[in-house]
Amino acid sequence: TGRRFTLTHRLPDAHLDDALRADALKGLTGRPKSLPPKWFYDARGSELFERITELPEYYPTRAEHQILAARSAEIAALLPDVRTLVELGSGSSRKTRLLLDAFTATGALERYAPLDVSPAALTEAGEALRHRYPALDVSAVVTDYEADLTPPGRGPYLVAFLGGTLGNLDTADRRAFYASLRPRLTAGRDALLVGVDLVKDPDTLVRAYDDGRGVTAEFNKNVLLVLNRELGADFDPAAFDHRALWNAEHSRIEMWLRSRRAQRVPLPEIDLTVDFEEGEEMRTEISVKFRREALTAELADAGFTVRHWWTDPLSRFALLLTTP
Ligand code: AVJ
């Protein structure tokens, strides 16, 4: 092993276009209209998200970092035989360095395999990491982990799904995610590390998704620019308002875009013209907030046992070490 950085495209370029077209067609003709959050992350969306992680109102990244700083050595000691660290939705991989520092200091780690839909994020992460970990192979994979979860390299595996991104999936989609991951892991050998945001007072939650500087509003509206560029639409971001609300029934933050006026938006690439009524809202993301008992039971139903549940000092966020 050593110093090899490979970038594998599991998604033929056409896939991304086809997937966006299918998602736009389905979502924009739904009741209510909606779009999957993975389309936020073009280059501008990824940059806006990095800025969100630094906002005072957006605590999850800092909280998870506190836990990883406190627990990475313990996690590496608990899993001394791990050869491949697979990260789902790696983004900039900045949060992963604490894990990689710990696993490369002690054990058998030979490969880091970030899986993400964004080639830009993977390339940037790959370049940064190969200097920091000269003995590590970095096998980056452009994939939609909801579609294809085959981990590169050889086990034992630690699969890390950090940042709270599990919360982007509703109950049914989480069940499908667990069902596609579980058969790829071996009981008694592999492990799954998940970062999740926890239920707390709604005001704190809403402010984390509707910051005073309007960065989250920009991030939310950016998906309209992605549709304009990729599908030839002409959404006017100024004709929509950002909304973040706490849906107590489903224990989740929801982000919406509200149409300021009645408007008609053509999307020529998919032969669709979309009408918005004045005040009509389109849902662009859910971010589920978890409770320990319910998530532990949900994971048990999916064949994962929670072995450790670590939180930051203020119990805002949790890092779970689970085993198949
Ligand atoms: C990257 C999906 C974990 O849900 O908190 C941040 C994305 N959306 N602010 C989240 C997000 C609005 C973030 N995840």
41-76 pLDDT, tens digit per residue, is 888 998 999 999 999 999 999 999 999 999 999 999
92 lines ligand 1 (CB under 6 A): no
Distance 168 CA to ligand 1 centre (A): 8
Instruction: Calculate the alpha carbon distances from 64 to 69, 92, 194, 312 in Å.
Output: 9, 15, 10, 7
pLDDT of residue 92: 65
pLDDT of residue 95: 81
Pairwise CA distance, residues 296 & 62, whole Å: 23
Pairwise CA distance, residues 220 & 227, whole Å: 12
pLDDT of residue 1: 43
Strands 111-116 and 317-323: unpaired
Q: Are 205 and 245 in contact (CB under 8 A)?
A: no
Which residue has the least CA distance to atom 13 on ligand 1?
165
Q: At 79, phi and psi to the nearest 5?
A: -130, 60
167 lines ligand 1 (CB under 6 A): yes
For the chain, what percent of residues have pLDDT higher than 90? 77
Instruction: Choose which residue among 287, 316, 317 to substitute to test ligand 1 binding: the one with the highest number of ligand atoms within 8 A of its C-beta.
Output: 287
Which residue has the least CA distance to atom 9 on ligand 1?
209
Average pLDDT, the chain: 93
Which band of pLDDT confidence, cut at 50, 70 and 90, is reported for residue 94? confident
Consecutive H or E run containing 67: helix 60-78
pLDDT of residue 90: 66
pLDDT of residue 93: 66
Q: Degrees (nearest 5) of the Cα angle 301, 302, 304?
A: 100
164 lines ligand 1 (CB under 6 A): yes
Nearest atom in ligand 1 to the alpha carbon of residue 89 is 1
Nearest atom in ligand 1 to the alpha carbon of residue 164 is 3
Q: Are 306 and 322 in contact (CB under 8 A)?
A: yes
E strands, the chain, are: 5-9, 33-34, 84-88, 111-116, 137-142, 157-161, 191-197, 240-247, 252-259, 263-267, 272-276, 281-288, 305-311, 317-323
Instruction: Choose which residue among 285, 288, 290 to substitute to test ligand 1 binding: the one with the highest number of ligand atoms within 8 A of its C-beta.
Output: 285
Which band of pLDDT confidence, cut at 50, 70 and 90, is reported for residue 12? low
On the question of pLDDT at 35 being above 90, the answer is yes
Q: Cα–chain-centroid distance for residue 169?
A: 9
Give the residue with greater pLDDT, 121 vs 315. 315
Which band of pLDDT confidence, cut at 50, 70 and 90, is reported for residue 17? confident
209 lines ligand 1 (CB under 6 A): yes
pLDDT of residue 3: 65
Tokens of 307: 């072995």
Q: What's the whole-model pTM score?
A: 0.95
